[in-house]
Amino acid sequence: MPVKTGWAVWCDIIIPVKNVELLLPAGDLEKLRFACAFGADAVYLGIPRFSLRARENGFKTLEQVAEAVHYVRRLGKKAYVTANIFSHNSKVLPCIKYIGELLQLCRPDAWIMSDPGLIMLMRENYPKEIIHLSVQANTLNYAAAAFWQKMGVRRIILSRELNVHEIKVIREHCPDIELEAFVHGAICIAYSGRCLISSYMVGRDSNQGTCANSCRWQYKVHKNAEPEREAAPLVGEFYLEEAERPGEMLPIDEDEHGTYLMNARDLCLIEHLNELAAAGLNSFKVEGRSKSVYYVAMIARAYRQAIDDLQAGRPFDPQGLKEVFATSNRGLTTGFLNGNPGAGALNYDSGASLSLLYRFTGIVRGYDPDKKLMKVEPRNPIRQGGVYELCLPKGDVTLAVDALFNDKQEPVDVIHGGLHFCWIACAEPPGEFAVLRERLP
């Protein structure tokens, strides 16, 4: 069946995708504002003590959370507040009390929760509030989705371990519940009995009762002494060998950051949004509340364009991958989209980006129209005579730095990243939301 404009096709089922949501992380108010400006339909933010990003949470007070929610709502977008801890006794009542205090200041569009007890108390104390079930609840099947729907949950954030066919089956059995899934960002290895090491090592899923107890095996560490051998040549310096699998070497090279045996590649499904929309998802979610403003802006813009193309019936534009590789990543994988990825989802090479095309250089903080100078907060060195890209919500502008000044507007040759700002000659105002980047050689 041919693709119709504005629709995605899954075999003989046609599902409208015009209302698919792009959901971006908001680690603080600035990231939230950039996420909205660069294309997010909705954002999610955490609250202190009751969110799984407590250390990186930029919203420290009730008033800051309320300010964020009001800002998003003024734009006609949605704000979801994350309270997705699995609570110990000491946090049960404080969490419910905190929610009540926040509701006196603002009303988020939904609450992202995972603890069954907290969800029960939420329904009892604040029955009008909308609840989205966190990915932490590990919803893997249609029966679980139906159960949570009966418990009053409006949306299920599906487990990352589902493939696209399984998502479709859940949609078929639960046609009236909203479904959300991660399409981009970091992937975890394990969470208290939900380990994935066995899957990566031997394809046996511990979450399905077939754990091979890979964490308890005997391993040997080898230093590469025969780099020229013809059979399975070893290119690194150190390798891990499991006692029952002699000759199967896992690279564990170490750099200044450490080694990466359990370092999962980052999820990237930007080329597969049509399949996910056709399977019945309502929301595409991006991970990264602890990531930079630059990451949020570039990933939001890339996925915004991909969704707009999908809605218009246009094919995926490979330019979107350029934006993905313009941000820090650990190597990319499609995760469980088409089944268990095995060891292919691991990155043994580095904890940092493998294919970084650009360096985040700075954030535009203002513009002096009289002097035609742009105020920039540098995050990496900016050099007089350098050529950079000014990244805006609707595209990029090449910027040649013909004149560079320090914070006192004195001419300089270079400005380094730090707690200060500089001025760059710029003929036109860049607008309120702009970041600067430098293409790497």
pLDDT > 70? residue 324: yes
The whole-number pLDDT of residue 259 equals 58
H-type helices in 116-256, by residue range?
116-125, 142-150, 164-173, 197-202
Q: Residue 123 contacts by C-beta under 8 Å, 6 or more apart in sequence? A: 131, 151, 152
Q: Does domain 358-439 have CATH number 2.40.30.10?
A: yes
Predicted confidence at residue 45, as pLDDT, reads 94
Closest CA to 355 of 329, 323, 320, 319: 329
pLDDT digits over 349-382, tens only? Answer: 444 444 578 999 999 999 999 999 999 999 999 9
pLDDT of residue 15: 43
Print burial letters for 54-86: b (CB count within 10 Å at least 16), e (below 16). Answer: eeebbbeebebbbbbbebbeeeebbbbbbbbbb
Q: Per CATH, is 8-188+264-341 categorized as 3.20.20.70?
A: yes
SS3 304: helix
Task: State the average pLDDT over residues 381-397.
Answer: 95
Instruction: Report whether pLDDT(126) > 80.
Output: yes
Confidence of residue 222 (pLDDT cuts 50, 70, 90): confident
Among residues 329, 43, 301, 281, the alpha carbon closest in space to that of 183 is found at 281
More confident residue, 399 or 223: 399
For the ranges 82-96, 231-245, 298-312, the lowest mean pLDDT is seen at 231-245
Look at the alpha carbons of 78, 84, 90, 93 in this order and tell me if their dihedral is positive or negative: positive
The average confidence (pLDDT) of the chain is 85
- Which range of 154-158, 190-194, 228-232 scores highest in mean pLDDT? It is 154-158
Can you give the pLDDT at residue 20? 94
pLDDT for the residue 246: 82
Task: Tell the residue number behind the tokens 């896992």, with chain if given.
Answer: 250
Round to the nearest angstrom and report the end-to-end CA distance of the chain: 45
pLDDT, position 256? 54
Q: What's residue 186's pLDDT?
A: 83
pLDDT at 8: 43
β-partners of residue 424 are 374, 404
pLDDT at 302: 96
Q: Regarding predicted confidence, which is higher, 161 or 227?
A: 161
Domain locations in the chain?
A: 8-188+264-341, 197-259, 358-439
High-pLDDT (> 90) share of the chain, %: 59
Query: What is the residue whose two structure tokens read 């069946």?
Result: 1
What's residue 262's pLDDT? 61
Q: Are strands 332-333 and 266-268 parallel, antiparallel or unpaired?
A: parallel
Pick from 298, 434, 310: which is nearest to 362 by CA? 434
**From residue 20, how far is each of 94, 217, 274, 276 by CA, in Å?**
35, 45, 11, 10
- CB atoms under 10 Å from CB of 359, counted, come to 17
Strand partners, 16: 7
pLDDT at 403 (0 to 100):
95
CB atoms within 10 A of CB 87: 21
What is the pTM (predicted TM-score) of this model?
0.83
Q: Assess whether pLDDT exceeds 90 at residue 63.
A: yes
| DSSP code of residue 255 | E
Residue 78 to residue 80: CA distance in whole angstroms: 7
CA dist., res. 407 & res. 376, Å (int):
9
Judged by average pLDDT, the poorest of 48-52, 149-153, 356-360 is 48-52
What pLDDT is attached to residue 10?
Answer: 36
Which of the residue ranges 40-44, 221-225, 238-242 would you say has the lowest mean pLDDT? 221-225
The answer to whether 337 and 272 have CB atoms below 8 angstroms apart is: yes
- What number of other Cβ atoms are within 10 A of residue 315's Cβ? 9
Closest among 163, 168, 161, 121 to 137, alpha carbons compared: 161
